[in-house]
Amino acid sequence: MLSFLRSRSCFVLLSALVVAVLIAIRLFTSWIGDLPSQGEGVASTALLIAMVAGCALVLVAGLFLARKRCVEGLPDSRCLWGVTLLGVLCAVSCSMLPRHEMSALPLLILLTTGAFCLLWSLLRSLSLMFWWVFFSLEIAQIAGYTQYGSRINSLVIAETMEASAEEVTGYLSSINVAIALSSLVGSVVLCWLMARVMRRCQNRLPLLNAGLFFMLLAGLLGLAIPPAQRHARHFWPCFEIYSLTHACVEAIFHNQETIRRVENLHSPAEQPSSLHTLRGGEGVVLVVHIGESIRADRMSVNGYERDTTPWLRQCPRLINFPRCVSAACDTCQAQIAILTDARRDIYEKDPSLQPHTGSVLDLFAAHGFRIFAFFGKRNATHLKYDLVVRLLTRCAEQKNHAPGSPWTSVPQMAAVLRSLPKGQNTILFINNEGSHTPFFHYDHDNPPFQPAGSTFETPSSHAMEVNNAYDNTVHYTDEFVRRVTSLLQGRPWLYLYISDHGEYLGHDGIWGRAALGESGRDYLSTTGCYVGAFFISSPELEKLHPHFAESLRALQSHTGMLIAQEHIFHTLLGFFDLRTPWYNPALDLTSPNPKSYTGRHPEQTK
């Protein structure tokens, strides 16, 4: 009896019996309606049937081949029990699913054990390299999800690829460093245990048969889950491996595709155009400032209870648009929507909403404006988020990078303005870090809101410090705008500010833009899509030409409209009466009857 309990046959019979009981429980609870329907049905029944049939056929062939070669059809019972216990350990420690759906654990164990056997039978010890990386990512992902509510997805990978040193430093807390080290050490321990267990089986064929046996049981158990309650996440680690691979490919493809689309846009200056308000020599300065991560509802000028924008709130010539929708939570797509004739993000299916021409700055350069670009430190790199904006500002004759915080670019602008000949029409293009994570750019010597800190260790538990830091960055941007406009006094100038996208600090139940996918929310259904947008002008500009005074009055009359980044391209053309085939008066906020934004937005989805 004892020898039977230690045999392969006992293991096989016991495994089959356990799975049969689980299947019976699943079918019974489904029949009486105890399991609520989630309406997912991602893993198709046909695919599972094919998996079961395929595993069964190959397993039979493998057992027949083992018999013909006079070798054991399955590994010894110690190896089988060892790999099963290893599967239990990995499924519990490396998968998030048991924390939410404990009923899925048996399926996870079978799939994990089967994957171990199959991969080892094919690659032997080389498979440890794969499992080490996978275990490290999964353990880190569990900790990351606990803190930030986001799994590793394409947005997380894209953001990581583009992260500046400051952004990385913001996450290098003692807890996160400990988590990273623990995930590496934990994965090493799991791989060591796997090597100890697997090396007991010298013959590949029995291990291959064992993997097929576990996969067959997993398929049968998966079939017992009603389609309405079945989800692809139940098939960890197989689906998780696919998800991670897909996220990497999607992030890289998204980067390359975005760059390609911008590179292929023809300059709008290639078409005939005419400027009817300026003839040259007026000394007009147009400031185009694409800000970073400022939500409209965190600006006191828009009614926020904290005085985050004291200077703007008292600015007598401010024309503010409190309801401006950004195209996407992606910096590049927002930049494209602002500077080109794109109506939405570049991946919209409707061709009429795609960009058809390049940067509006090219048109001003064609009519005598000298263009100077001022970027933050992160824009000095050569990755996607920086390359796109450099492509859109190719006409700039000089590109400056702030050596420290955004304030340090103000002296650079002063030097440029001093160097210009009198009467030179100029564009100052600004794109700096602003309120991007880790919310570091503010006056640390005199922070208006305290205690403040970019504490990204479970930010929801440090909500006050993180929100204070964010509000400090908005206050900092307000002071930045004041300093830039002070350089322009005595000149005719127009200052346009618009943020690329919003940020989430508990808003809509989300912490961080990367957690959007996990929340099940669409960006344009959240309050984060409303961004800061305003114009400021000088009295000298208004007096320079009657058209400017009319444009300013029209802008002021439309501040209650729901607008979007798609209006900016045409509004700049309309404000200066720069006529081109690309101009659309329906999207010009200086025209008598512009059309409001008609795309998706939170008010529409309530």
Average pLDDT of every residue of the chain = 86
**Does 264 reside within a domain?**
no
352-358: list long-range contacts, CB under 8 Å, 24+ apart: 355/261, 355/265, 356/265, 356/582, 357/265, 357/266, 357/267, 357/268, 357/271, 357/582, 358/262, 358/265, 358/266, 358/267, 358/268, 358/392
Predicted pLDDT of residue 166? 62
- State the Cα torsion 244-249-251-257 to the nearest 10°: -160
**For 525-566, how does the pLDDT look when each residue is reduced to its tens digit (9 = 90+)?**
899 999 999 999 999 999 999 999 999 999 999 999 999 999
Domain presence at residue 209: yes
Tens digits of per-residue pLDDT, 250-274?
Answer: 777 877 888 888 999 999 999 999 9
**Is it the case that residue 226 has pLDDT exceeding 70?**
yes
What is the structure's pLDDT at 243? 85
Contact 220, 56 (CB under 8 A): no
The listed range with the strongest mean pLDDT (101-110, 385-394, 523-532, 533-542) is 533-542
User: What average pLDDT does range 150-154 have in this prediction?
Assistant: 76
- Among the candidates 252, 273, 304, a domain finishes at 252
Using pLDDT thresholds of 50, 70 and 90, give the confidence band for residue 431: very high
Sorting pLDDT into bands at 50, 70 and 90, what band is 34? very low
Quote the pLDDT of residue 192.
Answer: 93
Do 165 and 291 belong to one domain?
no
Range from 2-6, 437-441, 565-569 that averages highest in pLDDT? 565-569
Closest C-alpha among 422, 421, 415 to residue 398 = 415
CA atoms within 13 A on the CB side of 75: 28
Rounded Cα distance between 516 and 401, Å, is 31
In terms of domains, do 228 and 286 share one? no
Residue 522 burial (10 A CB sphere; 0-12, 13-18, 19+): middle
pLDDT at 199: 82
Residue percentage of the chain with pLDDT more than 90:
49
Tokens at 440, concatenated:
């570091």
Does residue 155 form part of some domain? yes
SS3 call for 493: strand
Question: What is the distance between the alpha carbons of residues 584 and 597, in angstroms, rounded to a whole number?
Answer: 14
How sure is the predictor about 499, in pLDDT bands with cuts at 50, 70 and 90?
very high
Among 237, 252, 267, the domain-final residue is 252
pLDDT over 70, % of the chain: 89
Burial class (CB in 10 A: 0-12, 13-18, 19+), 544: middle
Same domain, 232 and 287: no
What pLDDT is attached to residue 461?
66
**Same domain assignment for residues 345 and 462:** yes
User: Is pLDDT at 349 greater than 90 in this prediction?
Assistant: no
- The pLDDT, as a whole number, for residue 49 is 87
Is residue 1 situated within a structural domain? no
- What's the Cα-to-Cα distance from 278 to each of 1, 424, 425, 540, rounded to whole Å? 100, 11, 9, 14
Peptide bond preceding 459 in cis form (omega within 30 of 0): no
Residues 178 and 297 in one domain: no
For residue 12, being part of any structural domain is answered with no
Q: Is 29 left (phi over 0), alpha (psi -120 to 50) or beta?
A: alpha
Residue 337 shares a structural domain with residue 459:
yes
Structural contact between residues 362 and 381, judged by C-beta atoms closer than 8 angstroms: no
Residue 584 has pLDDT above 80, yes or no: yes
Please tell me the distance from the alpha carbon of residue 489 to that of residue 498, in angstroms, as a whole number: 22
pLDDT at 385 over 70: no
Q: Mean pLDDT, to the nearest integer, of 89-106? A: 85
Does 312 share its domain with 240? no
Q: Specify the pLDDT at position 284.
A: 97
Query: Which of 228-232, 418-422, 457-461 has the lowest average pLDDT?
Result: 457-461
Task: Tell me what pLDDT residue 37 has.
Answer: 44
Instruction: Please report whether residue 579 resides in a domain.
Output: yes
Average pLDDT over residues 583-601: 94
Q: Which long-range contacts (CB under 8 A, 24 or more apart) does 579-585 make?
A: 579/273, 579/274, 579/275, 579/276, 580/268, 580/271, 580/272, 580/273, 580/363, 581/271, 581/272, 582/268, 582/271, 582/341, 582/356, 582/357, 584/341
Task: For residue 561, give the 3-state DSSP assignment.
Answer: coil
Confidence of residue 380 (pLDDT cuts 50, 70, 90): very low
Tokens of 178: 């400990």
Q: Measuring CA to CA, how many Å separate 313 from each of 2, 299, 320, 410, 479?
A: 84, 9, 10, 21, 12
In a domain, 568, yes or no: yes
Q: Which domain holds residue 228?
A: 45-252
Both tokens assigned to 371: 């263009």
**Higher local confidence (pLDDT), 447 or 605:** 447
Q: Is the pLDDT of residue 576 over 90?
A: yes
Interatomic CA distance for residues 463 and 456, integer angstroms: 10
Query: Residue 577 region, left (φ>0) first, then alpha (ψ -120 to 50), else beta?
Result: left
pLDDT at 409 over 60: yes
Least confident of 13-27, 89-103, 280-294, 430-444: 13-27
Do residues 551 and 431 both lie within one domain?
yes
- On the 0-12 / 13-18 / 19+ scale of CB atoms within 10 A, 347 is middle
Domain tally, the chain? 2
CATH no. for residue 320? 3.40.720.10
Residue 142 lies in a domain: yes
- Residue type, position 225, single letter: I
> Which alpha helices (DSSP H) does 504-545 contain, by range?
516-519, 539-544
Query: Could you tell me the pTM of the whole model?
Result: 0.81
CA within 13 Å, CB half, 261: 20
Q: Which residue has the higher pLDDT, 566 or 234?
A: 566
Closest to 345 (Cα-Cα) out of 322, 321, 326, 323: 326
Q: What is the number of residues in the chain?
A: 606
Q: Are residues 348 and 240 in the same domain?
A: no
- The letter for the amino acid at 595 is K
Tell me: pLDDT of 178 over 60: yes
Q: How confident is the model at residue 126, as a pLDDT?
A: 92
In this model, does residue 404 exceed pLDDT 80? Answer: no
The stretches of 149-203 forming alpha helices (DSSP H) are 154-162, 165-171, 174-198
Are 297 and 177 within one domain? no
Give every CB contact of residue 303 below 8 A, 6+ residues apart in sequence. 297, 322
Averaged pLDDT for residues 44-57:
87
Per-residue pLDDT reduced to its tens digit, 442-474: 888 889 999 887 766 666 667 888 899 999 999
Residue 133 has pLDDT above 80, yes or no: yes
Cis, peptide link before residue 310, omega less than 30° from 0? no
Indicate if 449 and 586 belong to the same structural domain.
yes
Mark whether 223 and 367 lie in a shared domain.
no
pLDDT mean over 98-126: 89
